[in-house]
């Protein structure tokens, strides 16, 4: 079943990459006076192309779940991480440009760092669910960081705004993964009883916050500015919360930690290189709204030209003026 699982994982990565490209292009065209739009999801929900991207996200999640059910986590997770490369390549193709060698090198460094981190930092043991108190504390910290990043981003240039929102969104996404693990386990155990559990609504809150930051990051800059840092921080924070909230543990000692640190540094270098590249796709500026034209007035008929009057020669003698008595 392993080759079939890999096939599902590759398909899921491609679907997620297509969803990222579609939603980024729609969000970048969204007209808004605010640098950070808290109601961006409601506005984007009216766009059919963005909804098509949302459908691809749901399809990708379903394919990921199938792949993880058939294959080993240590194999499937790195394959899923390839969506970063697919997304950057698709974004370059959609913008009718070629990625330069420096961009490919940076993208590969980010991808390799992410894959090595996911492969090495495989936690084991731990619990299937976490208490509402632990998940609530993790979600609160992530929400504070995410909201702070949103406030800071309003004062920055579009490129730096995308990076800051990627940091806040990636941390919130890691907290979303931690809450998803518990809710999925509860849904398998109690079925409909999960709707009476407050952890479901905690997941909904942190998930909506993550998605709001993600779409605002798409509005601020291209995928190369936002997605790499988001893609790296999501599993990193998720793994950390697995250790802290679910009491999982890592093996391998100092050697494994050294490899993880090297992987994170390589990914950080790739993120910085992609963000500073001159070939980063610029945000798509929405065309100005065309004002309705006034109806054209009918042309009046041209009046015929009157003949010129003859010129009267000036009088050469003074005319005497007779005074009345």
Cβ atoms of 241 and 175 within 8 Å: the answer is: yes
* DSSP string for 146-201: HHHHHHHHTTS-HHHHHHHHHHHHHHHHHHHHHHHHHHHHHHHHHGGGGGG-HHHH
Question: Over the stretch 264-279, which tens digit does the pLDDT of each residue have?
Answer: 889 989 888 887 764 3
Name which of 46-60, 234-248, 292-306 the model is least confident about.
Answer: 292-306
Residue whose C-alpha is closest to residue 222's, from 112, 100, 114, 89: 89
For the chain, how many residues are written?
325
Question: Over the stretch 193-214, which tens digit does the pLDDT of each residue have?
Answer: 889 999 999 999 999 999 999 9
The structure's pTM equals 0.78
Domain coordinates of the chain in residue numbers? 2-276
Q: How far apart are CA 81 and CA 268, in angstroms?
A: 15
Q: How far apart are CA 186 and CA 177, in angstroms?
A: 14
Angle formed at CA 46 by CA 40 and CA 47, multiple of 5 degrees: 95
Q: For residue 159, which phi and psi values (nearest 5 degrees)?
A: -65, -50
Question: Over the stretch 25-74, which tens digit does the pLDDT of each residue have?
Answer: 999 888 877 788 888 999 999 999 999 999 999 999 889 888 877 777 66
- Which is higher by pLDDT, 125 or 284? 125
Report CA 110 to chain centroid distance, whole Å.
Answer: 17
Q: Alpha helices of the chain — where are they, by DSSP H?
A: 2-28, 40-44, 48-70, 73-81, 83-94, 101-120, 132-153, 158-190, 198-220, 223-244, 253-276
């Amino acid at each position: 079943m392993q080759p079939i699982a890999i096939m599902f994982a590759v398909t899921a990565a491609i679907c997620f990459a297509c969803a990222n490209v579609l939603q980024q292009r729609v969000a970048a065209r969204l007209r808004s006076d605010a640098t950070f739009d808290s109601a961006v999801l409601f506005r984007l929900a009216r766009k059919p192309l963005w909804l098509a991207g949302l459908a691809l996200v749901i399809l990708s999640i379903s394919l990921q779940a199938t792949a993880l059910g058939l294959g080993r986590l240590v194999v499937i997770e790195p394959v899923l991480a390839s969506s970063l490369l697919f997304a950057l390549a698709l974004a370059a193709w959609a913008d009718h440009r070629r990625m330069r060698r420096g961009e490919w090198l940076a993208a590969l460094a980010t991808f390799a760092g992410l894959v090595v981190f996911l492969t090495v930092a495989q936690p084991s043991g731990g619990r299937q669910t976490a208490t509402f108190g632990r998940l609530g504390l993790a979600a609160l910290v992530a929400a504070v960081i995410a909201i702070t990043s949103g406030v800071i981003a309003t004062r920055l240039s579009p490129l730096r705004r995308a990076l800051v929102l990627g940091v806040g969104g990636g941390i919130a996404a890691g907290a979303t993964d931690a809450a998803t693990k518990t809710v999925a386990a509860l849904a398998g155990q109690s079925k409909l009883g999960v709707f009476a559990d407050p952890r479901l609504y905690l997941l909904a809150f942190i998930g909506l916050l993550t998605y709001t930051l993600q779409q605002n990051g798409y509005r601020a800059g291209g995928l190369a500015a936002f997605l790499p840092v988001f893609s790296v921080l999501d599993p990193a924070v998720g793994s950390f919360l697995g250790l802290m909230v679910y009491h999982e543990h890592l093996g391998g000692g100092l050697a494994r930690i050294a490899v993880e640190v090297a992987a994170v540094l390589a990914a950080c270098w790739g993120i910085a290189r992609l963000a500073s590249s001159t070939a980063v796709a610029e945000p798509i500026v929405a065309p100005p709204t065309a004002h309705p034209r006034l109806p054209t007035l009918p042309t009046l008929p041209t009046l015929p030209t009157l003949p010129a009057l003859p010129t009267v020669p000036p009088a050469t003698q003074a005319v005497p003026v007779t005074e009345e008595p």
